[in-house]
Amino acid sequence: MMRFTGILAAAGMLLALAGTADAQEKKDITLGVGGKPLLYYLPLTIAEQKGFFKEEGLNVSINDFGGGAKSLQSLIGGSVDVVTGAYEHTIRMQQKGQEIQAVVELGQFPGIVLAVRKDLADKVKSAADFKGLKIGVTAPGSSTALAAQYALVKSGLAPTDAALIGIGGGASAVAAMKQGQVDVISHLDPVISKLETDGDISVLIDTRTAEGSKKLFGGSNPAAVLYAKSDFIKANPETMQRLTNAFVKSLHWIANASPEDIAAAVPAEYHLGDKDLYMKAVQGSKESYSKDGIVTKEGMDSMYNMLKTLEPEFASAQIDLGKTFDPQFVNKAPKQ
């Protein structure tokens, strides 16, 4: 009996120690994102609006920046703990000697669309005609900028042959195109669907689908992921697991939700004044979201090849793609 009591006491001590370790982890999380109303980041909005972070015992404060490059800068600078941003940032930062890891994939295709202003459509019929034009992107250095540059290079131009202009997300991006501030736009829904429906643009490249993504990138191309500094992940494994659980719940919810359900779940201002249009954009983008939260080897290689094509320093860089994504958290997330 005394031995059994001792075992119970030891087990209780281990549980107490585990609880103490968990308590020491950071539960008040600051998350950076660049253009939260965009459908590229819908899994984040759903996790927030449906209370999935709260269900996991987390208090998540979201800082919305003008583009993905700015949210990355905030992570490096220490003003945010984690980021929902483009997967390519994990490769880029490794090349710079900083370990950034993704823990869950949110988008398997970028969902980025390149389109020309309608009044220029008779002159600009492909990316080969972009030379000397102004291309509106969420922010220079963001995934929308990278896609535009890649389209330029694949068309035989230099990535600097067109000017990249940061126009933010949402209403500001719509206004920039309607007012003629840019000639071409490399952007995401619902901005693209709004401009398309209003007759302001002619679509040239569309990566919202597997077919369109393959046409530009040659295959799948990871989009938004949740990433953090490797030392933060190591210091806060339980918190990272809970964050991953919330995003996996969000991906499953989106997969089973109707466009009407999704439109009702997001803030009304995300509709850009037209709920029906927003639902149409959602329907067109549903294929782009990750099915299982896993960044595939094919996707990693596709992104790395794009960076090597665009930026000479990557041609000789020693990048360990295995360090850009840690699947352990997704693998442990509860299956729906």
**What is the spatial distance between Cα 148 and Cα 116, in angstroms, rounded to a whole number?**
12
| Position 230 pLDDT exceeds 90 | yes
More confident residue, 6 or 181: 181
pLDDT at 335: 81
pLDDT of residue 20: 46
Q: Which CATH superfamily is domain 2-109+222-332 in?
A: Periplasmic binding protein-like II (3.40.190.10)
pLDDT at residue 66 greater than cutoff 80: no
| Alpha-helical regions (H) of 163-274 | 171-178, 191-197, 210-217, 230-235, 237-256, 259-265
The share of the chain scoring above pLDDT 70, in percent, equals: 93
Task: Pick one of 3.40.50.2000, 3.40.50.10860, 3.40.50.2300, 3.40.190.10 as the CATH number of 113-206.
Answer: 3.40.190.10
CB 30 within 8 A of CB 79: yes
Question: What is the predicted pLDDT for the residue at 318?
Answer: 85
- Whether the pLDDT of residue 281 is over 70: the answer is yes
In this predicted structure, which of 14-23, 52-61, 149-158 has the lowest mean pLDDT? Answer: 14-23
- The pLDDT score that the predictor gives to residue 313 is 84
pLDDT of residue 324: 97
Q: Output the pLDDT for position 192.
A: 95
Q: Which amino acid is present at 35?
A: G
Q: Where in the chain is the domain with CATH 3.40.190.10?
A: 2-109+222-332, 113-206
Please provide the DSSP assignment of 152-189 as one string: HHHTT--TTSSEEEE--STHHHHHHHHTTS-SEEEE-T
Q: How confident is the model at residue 170 (pLDDT cuts 50, 70, 90)?
A: confident
In this prediction, residue 2 carries a pLDDT of 43
Q: Are 62 and 48 in contact (CB under 8 A)?
A: yes
Confidence at residue 24, expressed as pLDDT on a 0 to 100 scale: 86
Mean pLDDT, range 43-71, rounded to an integer: 94
Predicted confidence at residue 23, as pLDDT, reads 58
Reported as a pLDDT band with limits 50, 70 and 90, residue 317 is confident
Residue 182 has pLDDT above 90, yes or no: yes
Reported as a single tens digit per residue, the pLDDT across 9-50 is 444 444 444 444 455 899 899 999 998 999 999 999 999 999
Beta strands at 113-117 and 184-187: parallel, antiparallel or unpaired:
antiparallel
Is the model's pLDDT at 151 over the cut of 70? yes
pLDDT, position 209: 85
Widest distance between CA atoms in the chain:
89
Least confident of 95-99, 105-109, 309-313: 309-313
pLDDT tens readout for residues 244-265: 999 999 999 999 999 999 999 9
pLDDT of residue 234: 97
Task: Give Cβ neighbours of residue 57 (< 8 Å, ≥ 6 apart).
Answer: 27, 242
The two three-digit tokens of residue 208, written as one number:
């919202």
Q: What is the mean pLDDT of the chain?
A: 91
With pLDDT > 90 as the criterion, what percentage of the chain qualifies?
75
pLDDT (0 to 100) of residue 203: 96
pLDDT per position as a tens digit, 70-88: 899 999 999 999 999 999 9
